[in-house]
Amino acid sequence: MRTTTFPRAAAVLAAASLALAGCSGAGGDTGQPAPGGAPAALSVHANTANTYERNFNPYSPTANQGTKGMIYEPLLLNTPMTPGESVPWLAESMEFNEDGTVATFTLREGVTWSDGEAFDADDVAFTFNLMRDNPAANASALDLDKATAVDARTVEVAFNSTSFAFKEAIENTVVVPEHVFADVDPVEFTNEKPVGTGPFVLGDFSQQLYTLTKNDRYWNADEVEVGEVRYPAASDQTFNTSLQAGELDWAGGFVANIDQVFINQDPENRSYWYPGDGLVNLLVNDQKAPFDDLELRKAVSAAVDRDQLSEVAMQGYTPPAHPTGLPLPAFEGVMSDEYADAAFTRDVDRANQLLDDAGYAKGPDGVRTTPDGERLSFTLQIPSDYVDWVTMSQLLSEQLKAVGIELKPQGVSFDAWLQARGAGAFEMTIASVPMGLSPYTLYRAIMSSEYREDEGPVIANYSRFYDEEADAHLEAYAATDDEAQQQAALDGMQQIMVDELPLIPLLQSPNWAQFNTASWEGFPSEEDPYALGAPYQFPDNLLVVTRLTPAGE
């Protein structure tokens, strides 16, 4: 499954087949065997790129993989796989004041930048103030007022509004060095010689391959056993070949027939894990007829065979969505008891009855019409190169035909699809919502009226579901750090998802991760879900690389 939020399925060429040439970075190539004969290098595929540009700016949307996590680190590390459990990292702790308008960080001692400069509270305060002054660098849209260094290890970050709900995003903020970023455009800067606090520094760089080598100044260097991370460039077409040949240790992408292509070549050492990291949905505009009619949305949902979508379009890799929209297993801990056993089932009879009762009569061609005589015939736009979504659209067309709704799949360019989604210039489409760091983040993106725009495109809540009760639950969650009160608010949001169908959930969107443990062990799995496994996932990539050990040790 491809989404608009995470890197798309890609291919990787064997590192050995790529010429290592070009500029040298802050470190050298240390890809020699580690003591005891264990391999030092970890070969990673995290995105599709035929060639690389030298960009290691964590604020740039085109930064190379590994920039965030391997080079630049968060204050505290939060993964959605363990909601509410912050891992101390550059900071030992963060505490909110009583009304959630000031966060105080206590920083770790003994941290230095990779160029030897001291890391301190001035860098942290500078980072938050940089984000405040440059909205493009403030990806989580934190309502920042001012950050102040109280002393060398203490930082106070003030917000203009209560910010309990953004705790994870605040803690996950990556820190940049003031002595590097003070006099540059923080978004346009390509940062060709990155200076970070992370476990790796830039080694060699060419258009076909760049390496990250171990940072000997790293504050936690003794716990990092990977000596080098290699990112070879590749195209989609060569991904299966490289994966099949065992040339990758860690990859993240869609692989058709993965057992045949990947697992069967070395079942002892090869595995994959695709937990849910978002929601794939059938998107309609709730503000426009006829989809402003809840009964029509209910009928469409009842007519969808999600099991078929999962098995045929996704080869069983990802399951049907849960009616609450919560990705599992990450958010099962906040699932309302009322919906613990809930599941979507196709019910064509119920769908037809709902449509009959709502006055959608069938015409002579079998297509229903609205009470005003408009045919229920809709164009279903999807990006034409998203093969799985194309298949899904064809299946949906057949499924809804059974209840008198005509879907006409239409492939468009990704850019055209993206523009239409934001502008609401679609009748129906397939889209995805990332789960973010908390259930609040997910539901905010689905149902918050704060994204409402009377003119121009929206940046979230693409179905344009605006509801006072939903807004009240979101506000109640954000106004407190009391877990019981937050859970009550989440219970209300789940009920709205089930009863009101702000959008029509189809499948969980998977976090693609393939592992080859012939050289390295310790990757996350269903049995040990300590992090999301995709190598493009921040900050989980940092957690994973610090857990890896040479195979057999």
- Report residue 536 CA to chain centroid gap: 9
pLDDT attached to residue 39: 55
Q: What is the DSSP string of 222-281?
A: GG----EEEEE-B-GGGHHHHHHTT--SEE-S--TTHHHHTGGG-TTTEEE---EEEEEE
Structure tokens at 53: 């540009």
CA distance 415 to 420: 9
In this predicted structure, what is the pLDDT of residue 11?
29
Q: What integer pLDDT is reported at residue 234 of this predicted model?
A: 79
Distance CA 108, CA 92 (A): 6
User: Are the CB atoms for 347 and 302 separated by under 8 Å?
Assistant: yes
Cis peptide before 275 (omega within 30 of 0): no
Each residue's pLDDT tens digit in the chain (553 positions)? Answer: 333 232 323 322 223 222 222 332 333 333 334 444 445 799 999 887 888 999 999 999 899 999 999 999 999 999 999 988 999 999 999 999 999 999 999 999 999 999 999 999 999 999 999 999 999 999 888 999 999 999 999 999 999 999 999 999 999 999 999 999 999 999 999 999 999 999 999 999 999 999 999 999 999 999 999 999 999 987 767 778 888 999 999 999 888 899 999 999 999 999 999 999 999 999 999 999 999 999 999 999 999 999 999 999 999 999 999 999 999 999 999 999 999 999 999 999 999 999 999 999 999 999 999 999 999 999 999 999 888 999 999 999 999 999 999 999 999 998 999 999 999 999 999 999 999 999 999 999 999 999 999 888 999 999 999 999 999 999 999 999 999 999 999 999 999 999 999 999 999 999 999 999 999 999 999 999 999 999 999 999 999 999 999 998 7
- Per-residue pLDDT tens over the stretch 140-194: 889 999 999 999 999 999 999 999 999 999 999 999 999 999 999 999 999 999 9
Give backbone dihedrals phi and psi of 93, rounded to 5 degrees, phi first: -165, 165
Look up the pTM and report it: 0.86
Query: Are the beta carbons of 290 and 374 closer than 8 angstroms?
Result: yes
Biggest CA pair distance of the chain: 78
pLDDT value for 239: 78
Nearest to 446 by CA among 511, 487, 490: 490
Please give the structure tokens belonging to residue 247: 């040339």
Nearest Cα residue to 473 out of 342, 336, 343, 293: 336
β-bridge mates for residue 456, sequence order:
none
